[in-house]
Amino acid sequence: MKKVPLEKIATISAGQGAPKQNEFSGNGIPFVRAGSLEDLILGKKETDLELVPVETTKKRKLKLYPKGSILFAKSGMSATKDRIYVLKNSAHVVSHLAILKPKKNTHTEYLKHVLIQFPPSILIKDPAYPSISLDEIRGYNIPVPEEFEDQKRIAHLLGKVEGLISRRKQHLQQLDDLLKSVFLEMFGNPVRNENGWRIESLGDLANIERGRFSPRPRNDPKYYGGLYPFIQTGDISRSDGRLRDYTQTLNEFGIKVSKEFKVGTIVIAIVGATIGETAILEIPTYAPDSVIGITPKKGKKETESVFIEFVLRFWKPVLRDRAPEAARANINIQTLRPLPIIWPQNENRKKFAIIVAKIEGIKSRYQQSLTDLEHLYGALSQKAFKGELDLSRIPLPTEKLPISQEEKTEPEAKPPEKTPFELPTPADFSVLQSLKGRKALLDQWVSVWFKQSQAIFTAQDFMETARQRLWDLAEDEIPDWGAAEYDELKAWVFKALEQGGLTQTYDDADNRVQLNAAKG
């Protein structure tokens, strides 16, 4: 494997200035900004970006960059983020982004992975004013195998691991979304307080303290590099569904100028890109003045911290909007103390904390799996780009592994036969004409389903079966089942989980959470 400058394997250019806001429309060609890359990498559709109509394209003489072009930021703080994205469709691109169009015999996915392993941000000379010139990008040397097929093999191998990493991140996000749904089901929106819960001010519920001054420069060995965890605003982020690993530690001298927060303290970032983000500390941690610690005053702190922190998630956009701007937007203690916090009965708060603990346990397994996969990706990347992998053992994407004689003769495993059953007939069809009656029938049917069905429960499967049963019984006399019935089903599942009628397990084979009727 030899190193070659990027200009030998790709055509390199920059995007163009963005149209004015009133020049976009509801249809047209996507316009990709530097800030769009993170969302696109996380799965956002290009068609969900700002769209440029034909009139604006002609007026601005915008270039169209083809599908398969590789984008990364070359100026601004985004250039330090190492976000590499491949266009799935043709698009217009902002001037802050570099565009690489792979040449013949250059595999697009290989080039993407090599840029992930050797990010262009290494070319930035002054971190205070991050910028990379096109000439520097053109001359950037990267390792490239001599054989095109080897590029495909490396891209295929790393792509498989990358896909697993993406799935794990999606699972973590889905579990966060599930918790949000549970909260809304139990308490409603805490900012609007539609359910009329009693209100307490955050200052009455908790002690609110600001961290101490964070010394500069950040890498000064006088303060940093010891045994004491030190949280920074960038560590408080829910993009991966958890508190990030601590990026700094303090030594004995450093802790004298910082503030220690105890286990169970809610920390909130009050400046910077993660302003308003919250997390609960699992170990004692020191904090700078850009972080505020919130410690419940009464009750079981673990339970109260869980509930208060979740309420604060809903307040985040409001706090951001209210943040006074000086040199930069910030949240202060005076803003937080009068913040109205809904305060349901203690029993309800405890129930929610128990549900959170169960789901966090599943998230912990997902997170460990994600960490392992990221380590695997890093190790494989290093070996691949150093030429230390035996690429002959990696099949090309179009190749199929040979089937051994034993595998050919071994009979295919048949899925277990399901015992047929029917959802029971309602005693009185008039129940279908009222929402209350339909909910009662739904409650009866879902109970039967869990007792007799051998399939993994999904709401869609159950509701389709229920609809079909209604058609069999009453044909066109039945009303359509909609959102109200789905809400009733969801409430039934949550109640059954709380009471132990259902169990929630993790299926390693299918990488998902499944619901089963409790045994005994």
Output Rg (C-alpha) for the chain, integer angstroms.
28
pLDDT at 476: 45
- Regarding pTM above 0.85, the answer is no
**Residue 491, phi then psi, degrees to nearest 5:** -65, -40
pLDDT at 400: 47
Residue 176 corresponds to which tokens in the numbers above? 């966060």
For residues 334 and 185, is the Cβ–Cβ distance under 8 A? no
Q: How far apart are CA 489 and CA 492, in angstroms?
A: 5
Q: Which residues contact 146 (CB under 8 A, 6 or more apart)?
A: 1, 2
Question: Helices (DSSP H) in 397-434: which residue ranges?
Answer: 405-409
SS3 25: strand
User: For the chain, which residues score pLDDT lower than 70?
Assistant: 215-219, 238-245, 299-300, 324-329, 398-422, 429-433, 452-461, 463-464, 467-487, 500-520
Residue 22 CB burial class (10 angstroms; 0-12, 13-18, ≥19): exposed
Task: Please tell me whether the peptide bond between 217 and the residue prior to it is cis, using omega within 30 degrees of 0.
Answer: yes
pLDDT at 234: 79
SS3 500: coil
Q: How far apart are CA 67 and CA 102, in angstroms?
A: 11
pLDDT at 127: 78
SS3 413: coil
For residues 152 and 107, is the Cβ–Cβ distance under 8 A? yes
pLDDT digits (tens, 9 = 90+) for 247-286: 788 999 889 889 999 999 999 998 877 889 999 998 999 9
Q: How far apart are CA 418 and CA 398, in angstroms?
A: 36
pLDDT at 406: 42
Residue 223 CB burial class (10 angstroms; 0-12, 13-18, ≥19): buried
Q: Which residues contact 468 (CB under 8 A, 6 or more apart)?
A: none
pLDDT at 423: 76
For residues 281 and 263, is the Cβ–Cβ distance under 8 A? yes
pLDDT digits (tens, 9 = 90+) for 287-311: 999 999 999 987 667 779 999 999 9
pLDDT at 74: 94
Q: Which residues contact 198 (CB under 8 A, 6 or more apart)?
A: 342, 343, 344
